[in-house]
Every structure is written in C-alpha cells, then in structure tokens.
C-alpha cells in the first residue's frame, strides 16, 4: 500500500476530496493529515473520515527528528500540500526527495511566491486583466512555488469575474485533477 500524508493549514476541501478519492483504492490511501494550526477545520474533516491527524510547530517541521521522522516511520510514499502555507524546510525535503508536491491556484510561474495564496492570487489575476488562469501541481523545493511543474489545467477569466467566481472555477479544477495526478505519480 502506498501511503499519502497531507499537510494543510485551513478548511481542507482538497484534503477531503483526496481522501475520499482514495478511500476505496486498492493500493493507495491517505495515511495521515497534519496541520500547523490546531483550529484548522481540516482536522475535523480528517476525524470525520477516521484519518489519523497530527498538529505540529514550525520547530517540529524544521527538525529532522520531528515531522520528517514521523512520516518516515509511517512509511509515507508521497507528501501532499493542500492549502499548506509555510515554506517547506530542508528536513522534510531531504527526507522525501522529489516526493513532496503542492497545488497552486494559478498558472505558475506567474502569480506564485510568498504571500500568494487563495484570494490574493485570484485578485492579482483579475487586476492584471488576464483572460486565463488555472491550477499548477508542482514538486516542492526550497522556494515558494518554484519546483518543477508536474501538471497544469486552465480555465477562462471571464469579463465581470469576481474573486469568488474565479475561485469557484479554480476549485473545480483542483477537485477534478489533484487526486488523479496523485494517483498517476504513485502508480
């Protein structure tokens, strides 16, 4: 069985979609959901799906004996960032080389980097007058949103779009593609 660990900081809609996608998969499953925030709603979603959880500090993430060691003991095959907002430290990247991936709500390399997440990304795309946006699934490295691109999907930015209407189309792309790309990486 190939095991996925999901790191999330917020509500966890992508984490839940991934977990449900793999709930009956014969050879891939979500083994654990971890968060840097004790009040993150993703932990409630995990509990409802009976997926083990862990809350960690910045120090535990940076320490090779912390989160990285926990995931190694659990024999995790892939670490998936799903709305996780911290920069991933070398301890985790070294423990899981080329095995940490992220999803970003824009077409990287544009509209990425520190503090570019969620509605901030959609606002920047709309303000720039872009006619297209989308999602990027990429490998994680030591810089925000700079790892190798694995997959992109596009959608139009329509005249009159608001942050919310664009975000809704982006979420649909995430829900449709993220679990399938994870499956392809682990197959």
**Sheet order of strands, 132-139 included:** 53-55, 28-35, 2-8, 78-81, 100-104, 132-139, 149-156
CA–CA gap between residue 90 and residue 155 (Å, rounded): 34
Catalytic, 104? Answer yes
CA–CA gap between residue 133 and residue 154 (Å, rounded): 6
Choosing from 104, 122, 138, 171, the catalytic residue is 104
Are 34 and 56 a contacting pair, CB within 8 Å?
yes
Q: Is the dihedral of CA 144, 73, 18, 153 positive or negative?
A: positive
CA–CA gap between residue 93 and residue 154 (Å, rounded): 28
Q: What is the CA radius of gyration of the chain?
A: 16
Q: In the chain, count of helices (H) and strands (E)?
A: 7, 7
| Cα-based distances in Å from 60 to 15, 69, 154 | 21, 10, 36
Give the residue numbers annotated as catalytic, written as ranges. 104
């Amino acid at each position: 069985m190939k095991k996925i660990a999901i790191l999330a900081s917020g509500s966890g809609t992508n984490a839940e979609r991934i977990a449900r996608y793999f709930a009956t998969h014969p050879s891939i499953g979500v083994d654990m959901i971890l968060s840097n925030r004790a009040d993150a709603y993703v932990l409630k979603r995990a509990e409802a799906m009976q997926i083990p959880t862990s809350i960690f500090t910045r120090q535990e993430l940076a320490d090779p004996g912390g989160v990285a060691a926990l995931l190694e003991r659990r024999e995790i095959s892939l670490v998936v960032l799903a709305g996780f907002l911290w920069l991933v430290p070398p301890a985790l990247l070294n423990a899981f080389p080329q095995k940490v991936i992220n999803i970003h709500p824009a077409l990287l390399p544009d509209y990425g980097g520190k503090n570019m997440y969620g509605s901030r990304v959609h606002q920047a795309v709309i303000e720039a007058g872009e006619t297209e946006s989308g999602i990027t699934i990429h490998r994680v490295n030591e810089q925000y949103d700079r790892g190798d691109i694995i997959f992109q999907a596009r959608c139009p930015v329509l005249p009159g779009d608001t942050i919310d209407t664009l975000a809704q189309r982006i979420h649909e792309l995430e829900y449709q593609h993220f679990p399938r790309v994870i499956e392809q990486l682990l197959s």
